[in-house]
Amino acid sequence: MKTPFRNTRRRFIKNALVAGTMSPLAMRIAQPVLAATGEDTAKVVFMYIPDGVYAPKTANGSTDDSQGAWHPTGIGVDSGNGYAVTTNPTMNQMTKAFTPIQEHITFLQGLDMKLGGGSHQGGSRKVLTGNGGDSLDVVLSRQDSIGGTTPIRSINLGAMANFQAGTTDHVHYLNGQSIKPEDDPISAFNRAYGLGGSGVSYPDGFDPRKSILARSFKEVEALMKNDLGMDERVKLATHIDALNDMQKKLDGVAEPNTGSGNLCEVSTFNPNHIETASGDGIYPPKIHLDNNFEDIANLQTDIITRLLSCNMTRVAGLQMSHTTSNFRGHHSISHNFSQGWIDSLDFFYSFLIKMVNQMKATPDGSGTLLDNTLIYVYSCLSDGKLHDHRDMPFFLIGGHNFGMKGNRKLRYDLNAEGDGRGVDHTKLLVSIAKYMGHDIESFGTNGVTGELPGIFV
Amino acid sequence: MVKRLTLVLSSLALAACSGGATDHSANSERSSTRDISSAVISSAAPASSSSVTLSASSDSVSSVLASTSSSLASASSSRPSTPPSGNFDLVTGKGLYETHCLECHGVVGAGSIKVPVPIKAIGYAGLMARADGGNMPTGTGPLTGAEYSPEQCVGDCAHQVAGYITNNFPGALDTGENSELGFNGCSTAEGAPAARAMRLLTRREYENSINDIFGFDMDLTVSFSPEGRDHGFTNNADIAQVTARHLDNYYSAASRVTGAVQEGLTSGKLGRVLGCSGDLKCVVKFIDEFGPRIFRRPLTAEEKAEYFKFFRALVPANEADGYLNHSQHAKDAIGAGLPALLMSPHFLYRTELGKKEGDNYRLTDHEMASLISYTFIGSTPDDALLAAANAGQLRTKAQYKAHAERLLGTQRGQDQMAHFAVEWWDSGLELIGSKNPDFYASYDAKVIQSMVGEMKALFKHVTFESTGKFGELYQPGYAMLDKTLSDFYGVGSVTSDTFTKVINNQRGGILSFGAIAASKASTEESSPVKRGVFVREQLMCDPLPPLPRDVNIPNPDLDPTKPMRARFTEHSSNENCWACHKFFDDIGFAMEVFDASGKHRDQEIMYNWDTKEELNRLDILTAGKVINIDGDDEHTFDDLDGLADIMTNADSSKSCMTTQYYRYVMGYTLSDGDQCAIENLNKTFADSQFDIQTLLIGITQLDSFSLRK
């Protein structure tokens, strides 16, 4: 892998006297453990689509399949374990776009998001957190065995996710606070590869960052000794985590890479030289112009494919716009069933489908990147008009090397948990965690334990 | 209105002795979900802060009574009140009070330790209504077990007691501004509600700081993560955290800044401050001059030595520091060292840690310089503030005030206050939505930017050029428009890009800002719910319960025969909906005179949004009522002007501005502990007849401004 930092260490150690201030015992530096060629490692992508689908409900709260336009249909075979399996389901009007890739998809029906707040913002708050303080992507990224094995723990991207967005319009959380997706792919890409500033030219190989990190660590640690309250200590501990992450990345990107060739060449990114930067006096910035959405979204899915393929990270998120999306009137459109709504969703789905195909074409481990990567596609609402959280339109793509079989629909029994509702969606989050090798029994604060049966074959 | 509020509250306060505090919880059930400013309003209910303080500081009733006796004289002498008509014998009144009232209400009417029932904001008439009217005294005495009943003190007894109370107890009168705002008698020594904290610079503060330190005008934060917002404010330090992304962004910016510094060493502010280039001495001077500007305080000797190591990092191992006596080497040294200073937590956070002083911590001179500076200009302290801090001249309220006034006298200070207003109004550039161009063709990015400009221009004009009074924010009788908005709104004929006063009868004032109308609307339709909730939460500081879960919240279908209001009848016919919607729907309907793009309209045009066909034009039904505006007051209005009039005069809207400003200045998530600080700031605001500049500067005069816990 070509990076500007190949010679960093040698030159750095020779010149930087401050290197002696490094405090390796206190700084938790996990060296990246890169996968050997041919080895399969599980990867995950969290993909957000805004504002629900058309899924009207019957009196008992389950989806009215005779009217709904989203959930695929077909005869289900009862598994005897609380769910029925439909093989080769027939795509519905709003899922028709997935027909070409349905062999890779497991659609889920009968999952409810329970407890927590309602409507758009309530759904966004809990969909990845289960009403806890950290979203699943963040939890996975903090695991030594997952995020700790790659130069960057996770990446959290958006396509116009921060444009005209309220402060509670996003889905990723750390310490109970919303983490904003990155809308600028160029900036995100440079960050991922540690391509820092462009303002100073240093002699070959010199990079002041490592010694800066050591100094910052010392200063933050000293501040923590100030007899501060718990909130402040958490804040500073998070800062130290960030210092460690930056350190880890600087170490990681200097390592030779085992990923699949061309994709890992930094220079091959953004072949069309799309520019995203605009001054902050410019409104809206380029990354938030409607007409640039396609370019931005394509670059973001490309970054995800590259970073996963090159073992730069194993955890990625992408938000298409945000809840109550202003993008081409999507939120307004999502209040009434129409062809316009189908078209608008298909537009968002097109980037997902393109990414799936790109992953399918990318060798990885013993098969393709799609075989190793589980893509969790989700929204903050079930029905866009009802603004409800019953029978959520969740589905999973890929992950075939780790037990995921496609071309199925699993329909979970209503009242399986005895509350007249569907199955708590945090069980799905537990299953995704297990997929990634994080063996937990419960996720979030809903008090529900166990994983979702039937997902892994 | 006010009288009704205060009477209700005081009737709570004067409820039966034996009732105690718990009896009142049902009456104030909504206030349990409110935030702090409404707590101020409703705080006349039982457990007043003074009684809480008393009970916390003493473990016996007698010592409470003894300690409060001494404060009686000072309370009565420092707060002369206007006695109601009639002849009183205060000695007689005092005796009668002690016989019939003291056991429950305490020596100064603040309540006793066992029965914290204060006498609040009731006035002579209210007292007579309670006592002579047959409600008081009543119940069983908590100390003696004596039985009290209303017939024990009627007629002249009631008259004398009422006279004694209104002449001696602060807060018992219903005639002044204080009682109108529901003050509960907080001491001016409100303590230190704010915890010691590290306040991460916002994007705006970061960029302003760098540009001020070096005399630059760089765009630095475009790709930085947006801040989370608390009630619209981006500077809440409780919710700001540094992630890996932040560090990358900081480094990227630091690198750009460093490059610019290297190029500009001999020009502009850099050149003036340094007056040198190209040798070791100059590198040392750079650290001496800019280190303290970056850290907003002098560097310690250890810091100087440590940071010097960064600057000489490129000196070859076999060379001494004299290597830097070469212009390129000196420039490289700054390139190697400056990013370290800019990545330090001492730059990225402004600390409010203070030095121990009694039970609290007092902010250091330099922390005060930063607090004042970021509050009033949103940037790093200027040379005058740093000099004052260095000289120990930032230790008195008068000194804080002088600097606050100095900064507010500058364009930057006034712009920063406009920035506060825009965040308070929660309708900044990042929040104003796009519109469907098929219906709102002339609405574009320029209009959005001008809408933000309109808010800033009005706030600055009212505060710094016109009356300076709160009421003018709601009812100015004019709008501040530039050419873009004048054309877009179709109001006036402004021909320049300068915001100009346009007298008209369609718009002007907070409730008619295009930015608010457009940001609280969808791409096609106005949103009476979003607008009403905005008024309730941001302008009245009355937070609403979260949206219910597990219920369907269907958006009403388009019906060309029904205006927006009629399509929302489910809200009022379904009691589950109405339980919340009654607080804001009518407010939102009054604002229906503005379409989704913020333009004024006389009629609602009904479109088929798919075919774009116009289906109908319907009158907008604006009349309605605001409930629970001050306590349980309610007011009806015919239209938006009527609503603006209500907001102009409501206690809750005034005290809400205080709360929002306090929130902005303090930068953390408020709690009940902030009640007295806000109340004292409310008093300052009220004493000035709601003069905005007095409020803005007045916060520096709070004890809590410089104290932390």
- Residue pair A51/A379 in contact (Cβ under 8 Å)? The answer is yes
Among A residues 161-220, those touching chain B with beta carbons less than 8 Å apart: 162-167, 174-175, 177-180, 182, 184, 187, 190-191, 194, 196-203, 206, 208-209, 211-212, 215-216, 219-220
Q: Residues B539, B486: one domain? A: yes
> Which residue, B596, B615, B649, sits at the end of a domain?
B649
Selection from B374, B377, B375, B352 nearest residue B363 by Cα: B352
Give the CA angle between residues B124, B128, B132 to the nearest 5°.
165
Is A334 a domain residue?
Answer: yes
> Which residue, B333, B349, B365, sits at the end of a domain?
B349
pLDDT value of position B659: 97
Is B400 a domain residue?
Answer: no
Measured distance CA(B369)–CA(B352) in Å, rounded:
11
At B328 the three-state DSSP class reads: helix
Which stretch, B29-33, B452-456, B673-677, has highest mean pLDDT?
B452-456
Residue B654 burial class via C-beta count within 10 angstroms: exposed 0-12, middle 13-18, buried 19 and up:
buried
Residue written as tokens 């040379």?
A: B383
Is B393 a domain residue?
Answer: no
Measured distance CA(B141)–CA(B328) in Å, rounded:
87
Measured distance CA(A258)–CA(A37) in Å, rounded:
6
Is B430 a domain residue?
Answer: no
Measured distance CA(A129)–CA(B586) in Å, rounded:
36
Pairing of strands A83-87, A395-398: unpaired
Is A346 a domain residue?
Answer: yes
pLDDT value of position A127: 97
Q: Residues B97, B156: one domain? A: yes
Q: Residues B529, B456: one domain? A: yes
CB pair distance less than 8 Å for B432 and A164? yes
Is A254 a domain residue?
Answer: no
pLDDT band at B2 (very low <50, low <70, confident <90, very high): very low
What's the number of CA atoms in the CB half-sphere (13 Å) around residue B440?
27
pLDDT band at B569 (very low <50, low <70, confident <90, very high): confident
**Which of A36-45, A382-391, B187-196, B543-552 bottoms out in mean pLDDT, i.e. has the lowest?**
B543-552
Pairing of strands A408-412, A105-109: parallel
Residue to mutate among A21, A131, A134, A212, with most B CBs inside 10 A, is A212
Residue to mutate among A157, A182, A239, with most B CBs inside 10 A, is A239
Residue A136 is given by DSSP the state H
> Which residue, B308, B332, B349, sits at the end of a domain?
B349
Largest CA distance in chain B: 100
Residue to mutate among A235, A324, A342, A446, with most B CBs inside 10 A, is A235
Q: Residues B172, B53: one domain? A: yes
At A129 the three-state DSSP class reads: coil
Q: What is the pLDDT of residues A68-99, one digit of tens each?
A: 899 999 999 999 999 999 999 999 999 999 99
Q: Residues B17, B134: one domain? A: yes
Measured distance CA(B378)–CA(B375) in Å, rounded:
6
CA distances (Å), B202 to each of A69, A322, B226, B228, in order?
A: 44, 22, 9, 10
Nearest Cα residue in chain B from A16: B313
Is A23 a domain residue?
Answer: no
Is A350 a domain residue?
Answer: yes
Measured distance CA(A277)–CA(A296) in Å, rounded:
12
What is the arithmetic mean of pLDDT over B62-84?
31
What's the number of CA atoms in the CB half-sphere (13 Å) around residue B219?
9
- Residue pair B398/B406 in contact (Cβ under 8 Å)? The answer is no
For chain A (457 residues), the mean pLDDT of every run of 10, in chain order, is 24 26 31 57 98 92 85 95 96 97 97 91 95 96 94 96 92 95 94 76 85 95 90 93 91 56 79 84 88 97 95 96 93 93 98 98 95 98 93 97 96 89 96 97 94 94
Stated length of chain B: 709
Measured distance CA(B117)–CA(B13) in Å, rounded:
5
Q: Residues B462, B493: one domain? A: yes
Number of domains in chain A: 1
Residue B613 burial class via C-beta count within 10 angstroms: exposed 0-12, middle 13-18, buried 19 and up:
exposed
pLDDT value of position B120: 64
At B229 the three-state DSSP class reads: coil
What is the arithmetic mean of pLDDT over B688-706?
97
Residue to mutate among B208, B241, B310, B429, with most A CBs inside 10 A, is B241
Q: What is the pLDDT of residues A113-148, one digit of tens each?
A: 998 888 999 999 999 999 999 999 999 999 999 999
Torsion sign over Cα B599, B604, B608, B611: negative
| Chain B positions in Cβ-Cβ contact with residue A278 (cut-off 8 Å) | 222
CA distances (Å), B388 to each of B364, B370, B402, in order?
A: 12, 12, 11
Is B548 a domain residue?
Answer: yes
At B88 the three-state DSSP class reads: coil
- Residue B321 tokens read as 């520091």
Is A451 a domain residue?
Answer: no
pLDDT value of position B667: 97
Pairing of strands A111-112, A423-424: parallel
Phi, psi torsion values for B498, nearest 5 degrees: -85, 135
Measured distance CA(B404)–CA(B696) in Å, rounded:
9
Pairing of strands A395-398, B360-362: unpaired
Q: Residues B41, B165: one domain? A: yes
CB pair distance less than 8 Å for B251 and A190? no
H or E element: which one contains B200? strand B197-200
3-state SS string over B336-403? HHHHHHHHCHHHHEEEECCEEECCEEECCHHHHHHHHHHHHCCCCCCHHHHHHHHCCCCCCHHHHHHH
pLDDT value of position A62: 82
- Residue pair B485/B450 in contact (Cβ under 8 Å)? The answer is yes
Selection from B313, B307, B302 nearest residue B289 by Cα: B307
Where b means 16+ CB within 10 Å and e means fewer, B60-95 reads ebeebbeebeebeeebbeeeebeebeeebeeeebbe
Q: Residues B469, B547: one domain? A: yes
Is B251 a domain residue?
Answer: yes
What's the number of CA atoms in the CB half-sphere (13 Å) around residue A208?
33
Nearest Cα residue in chain A from B344: A216
Measured distance CA(B30)–CA(B570) in Å, rounded:
23
Q: What is the pLDDT of residues B312-347, one digit of tens each?
A: 999 999 999 999 999 999 999 999 999 999 999 999
Is A411 a domain residue?
Answer: yes
Q: What is the ipTM of this complex?
A: 0.90
Q: Count CB pairs under 8 A between chains A and B.
A: 248
Q: Residues B133, B265: one domain? A: no
What is the arithmetic mean of pLDDT over B20-34?
34
Stated length of chain A: 457
CA distance A409 to chain B (A): 24
**Which of A386-400, B250-264, B546-560, B624-638 bottoms out in mean pLDDT, i.e. has the lowest?**
B546-560
What is the arithmetic mean of pLDDT over B55-60?
28
Residue B33 is given by DSSP the state G
Is B382 a domain residue?
Answer: no
Q: Residues B644, B496: one domain? A: yes
Whether chain A has a CB inside 8 Å of the CB on B226: the answer is yes
- Check whether B12 has a pLDDT greater than 70: no
| Chain A positions in Cβ-Cβ contact with residue B523 (cut-off 8 Å) | 326, 328-329, 331-332
Is B663 a domain residue?
Answer: no
CB pair distance less than 8 Å for A212 and B433? no
Whether chain B has a CB inside 8 Å of the CB on A294: the answer is no
What's the number of CA atoms in the CB half-sphere (13 Å) around residue A179?
28
Selection from B471, B492, B496, B464 nearest residue B483 by Cα: B496
CA distances (Å), A340 to each of A327, A332, A336, B536, in order?
A: 13, 10, 9, 34
Largest CA distance in chain A: 73
H or E element: which one contains A210? helix A209-224
Range of the domain at A56: 42-194+276-435
Range of the domain at B609: 445-649
Is A345 a domain residue?
Answer: yes
Q: Residues B128, B253: one domain? A: no
Our measurement of the distance from residue B10's CA atom to the centroid of its chain's CA atoms, rounded to an integer in Å, reads 27
pLDDT value of position B311: 97
pLDDT value of position B88: 74
Residue A373 is given by DSSP the state E
Q: Residues B590, B477: one domain? A: yes
Number of domains in chain B: 3
pLDDT value of position B115: 56
Percentage, residues of chain B above pLDDT 90: 63
pLDDT band at B75 (very low <50, low <70, confident <90, very high): very low
What is the arithmetic mean of pLDDT over B416-425?
98
pLDDT value of position B413: 98
Q: Give B558 or B550, the one with higher predicted confidence.
A: B558
- Check whether B131 has a pLDDT greater than 90: no
- Check whether B229 has a pLDDT greater than 90: yes
CA distance A253 to chain B (A): 14
Selection from B682, B651, B690 nearest residue B1 by Cα: B651
pLDDT value of position A357: 98
Q: What is the CA radius of gyration of chain B?
A: 30
pLDDT value of position B468: 98
CA distances (Å), A190 to each of A182, A197, B56, in order?
A: 12, 9, 57
Is B463 a domain residue?
Answer: yes
Q: Give B563 or A409, the one with higher predicted confidence.
A: A409
pLDDT value of position B69: 29
Selection from B378, B23, B450 nearest residue B203 by Cα: B378
Measured distance CA(A421)–CA(A407) in Å, rounded:
26
CATH of the domain at A130: 3.40.720
CB pair distance less than 8 Å for A216 and B557? no
- Residue B279 tokens read as 């040798």
Residue B26 burial class via C-beta count within 10 angstroms: exposed 0-12, middle 13-18, buried 19 and up:
exposed
| Chain A positions in Cβ-Cβ contact with residue B552 (cut-off 8 Å) | 57, 383, 386-388
Whether chain B has a CB inside 8 Å of the CB on A145: the answer is no
